[in-house]
Structures are given as C-alpha cells and as structure tokens.
C-alpha cells in the first residue's frame, strides 16, 4: 500500500509538472508572438514612399505632399529608437524643416526648398544623410551628412568633394554647371557612404541622366573608391533608387550618341 501511494503521488506530481511545462511553453509562444508584432517604429518606413536615389532612404517631399491632402508630417526614427527626425513644411519660409529629437535634446535643420528631399539614418544611429534639390526635380541636388550628438548637429556638405571627384563640369545648353549629388547608401556604420554624381536629366545636357558613384570615408571627407555607372549598377543595384537604375547605359558605351548638338560648335 505504501508503494502504491508513492506511485500515485509520483504520478500526480508528474502531471502537475507536465501542466507547468505546457503552461511555460504557452507563455514562451505568446511572448515570442508579441515580439514579432511590428511596432510603429518597426514598420514606419515601410508605410512611406522610398527615395528615388536611394532605396535606403525615406522620401520627405513626396510623403509630406500627399495628393489631395494638406502637408503631412513625416517621422523617421533611428534604428536604435533613441533619435527621431520629424519633417514638416514651413509655409512661412517655403522650406522643409527638420526637427531632431535626442532624449531631452531638440535640434533643427532647415532645407532650402526641400524638393525631392530624402533621408536615411546610418545603421549605428550616429548620423543621417539628407539629399534634396534647391531648384526642381531635375536639380541642382545637394547632399549633407548630419552627425547627431548631445552637443548638437555636426554637418558635412558633400557637394564640393563629389563634384571634384566627378572631374568635369556638366555641359548643358546654358553652359557648364555642377552635377547633382545624391546619397545612395551607408556602407559601414556612419563612417562610409556611397554617393552619386548625376548629370541632370534634362535633354539640353550631354549624356543627361548618367551618373558615377563614389565611396566616401566620413567624417574625414575622403573619396576612397569610384565606380562608373555600369560598375555601380552591378555592385550596388539593391541600393539604387529607380532614378539611378534607369540611367541610360548607352550614353556610357557610346557617349557621342548622347551629345546635344547645340552644346558643340563644330563649324570650325
């Protein structure tokens, strides 16, 4: 009888342990499923239009000016969730205004015009790039990098560096001019970035719409590698936005076929 009683107790105890195990497993599954449910910061970028130059970037201008609606506010959190960029259109100054929140700190940066603007945080959340046009959708496009610290913003203007690396002025009917400069992708935290120099997509420009790409080491602003258009498309296709993907390759293989006659006086 003692043996039978011990067995019954053991069986009862085993059943309780089994129920506890099943309950524990159930809670593990519930917690796992909750963790998989996306929060706003997880899917915020997926609900917004991406950049035309960079598929890493969130478009500001296109998401602020939603068709049929008044100007919207665009919010882009950093990957670590500790910093937030809020972009709004300031009708008084006719500019896009960026408000950067870092804990209790608040910083601002305005964008001259803001047409075609797009931004992307670096993977380490230390910096973000901003690309925008001060004129229209064809250009002139500019790119800046902003490092965000508790002491403030540190800005780096990439246009002078990238235009020097591009090597020549863009030849259009109105005369020579700078290339459009647009960020493509962060490649190594916030220390290396891929940037494009694009000939404005205007039919009055020689080889309009073509580009070269440059790897830039930041914050020391040194070009460490360059790629022609064909090489950039092959190496970085997954990062390129539709505007760069559609750049005409025939102008690379046969440049003379993409020359604008009015830009070349061959009468002599």
Residue 116's CB is within 10 A of a number of other CB atoms, namely 25
- Give the whole-angstrom CA distance, residue 253 versus residue 231: 12
- Give the whole-angstrom CA distance, residue 58 versus residue 87: 11
In this predicted structure, the answer to whether residue 29 has a pLDDT above a threshold of 70 is: no
Question: Which of the pair, 172 or 52, is modelled with greater confidence?
Answer: 52
In this predicted structure, the answer to whether residue 18 has a pLDDT above a threshold of 80 is: no
How big is the chain, counted in residues? Answer: 268
pLDDT, average across residues 200-218: 92
In this predicted structure, the answer to whether residue 202 has a pLDDT above a threshold of 80 is: yes
User: In this structure, are residues 96 and 132 in contact, taking their beta carbons and an 8 Å threshold?
Assistant: yes
Q: What is the DSSP string of 146-207?
A: EEEETTEEEEEE-HHHHHHHH-S-EEETTEEEPPEEEEEEEEETTTEEEEEEE--S-TTBTT
* Range from 26-40, 103-117, 229-243 carrying the lowest mean pLDDT: 26-40
Q: What is the predicted pLDDT for the residue at 255?
A: 85
pLDDT, average across residues 43-47: 51
Q: Which of 170, 174, 254, 175 is nearest to 211 (CA)?
A: 170
pTM for the full predicted model? 0.79
Confidence of residue 17 (pLDDT cuts 50, 70, 90): low
Give ∠ CA 148-152-184 in degrees, rounded to 5. Answer: 30
User: In this structure, are residues 193 and 145 in contact, taking their beta carbons and an 8 Å threshold?
Assistant: yes
pLDDT 10s digits, 89-147: 988 888 899 999 999 999 999 888 889 999 999 999 999 999 999 888 888 999 999 99
Q: Is 150 helix (H, G, I), strand (E, B) or coil?
A: coil
Extents of the domains making up the chain? 1-37, 39-263
The H or E element containing residue 110 is: strand 105-111
Q: What is the predicted pLDDT for the residue at 113?
A: 81
- Give the whole-angstrom CA distance, residue 207 versus residue 85: 36
Helix locations, 47-199, DSSP H: 61-64, 159-166
Q: What is the predicted pLDDT for the residue at 20?
A: 53
Residue 198 corresponds to which tokens in the numbers above?
Answer: 């694009």
Burial of 263 (0-12, 13-18, 19+ CB in 10 A): middle
């Amino acid at each position: 009888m003692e043996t039978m009683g011990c067995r019954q107790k053991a069986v009862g105890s085993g059943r309780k342990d089994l129920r506890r195990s099943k309950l524990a497993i159930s809670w593990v599954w519930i917690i796992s499923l909750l963790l998989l449910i996306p929060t706003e910061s997880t899917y915020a970028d997926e609900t917004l239009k991406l950049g035309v130059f960079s598929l890493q970037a969130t478009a500001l201008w296109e998401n602020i000016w939603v068709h049929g609606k008044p100007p919207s506010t665009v919010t882009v959190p950093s990957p670590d969730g500790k910093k937030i960029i809020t972009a709004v259109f300031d009708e008084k100054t006719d500019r896009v205004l960026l408000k950067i929140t870092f804990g209790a700190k608040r910083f601002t940066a305005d964008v001259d015009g803001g047409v075609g603007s797009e931004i992307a945080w670096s993977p380490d959340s230390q910096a973000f790039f901003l690309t925008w046009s001060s004129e229209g959708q064809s250009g002139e496009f500019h790119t800046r990098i902003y490092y965000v610290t508790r002491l403030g913003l540190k800005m780096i203007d990439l246009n002078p560096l990238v235009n020097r690396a591009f090597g020549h002025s863009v030849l259009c009917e109105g005369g020579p001019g700078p290339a459009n400069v647009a960020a493509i992708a962060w490649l190594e935290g916030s220390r290396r970035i891929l940037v494009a120099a694009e000939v404005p997509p205007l039919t009055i420009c020689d080889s309009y719409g073509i580009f070269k790409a440059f790897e830039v080491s930041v914050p020391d602003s040194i070009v460490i590698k360059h790629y022609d258009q064909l090489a950039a498309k092959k190496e970085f296709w997954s990062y390129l936005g539709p505007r760069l993907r559609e750049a005409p390759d025939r102008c690379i293989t046969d440049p003379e076929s993409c020359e604008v006659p009015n830009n070349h006086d061959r009468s002599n």
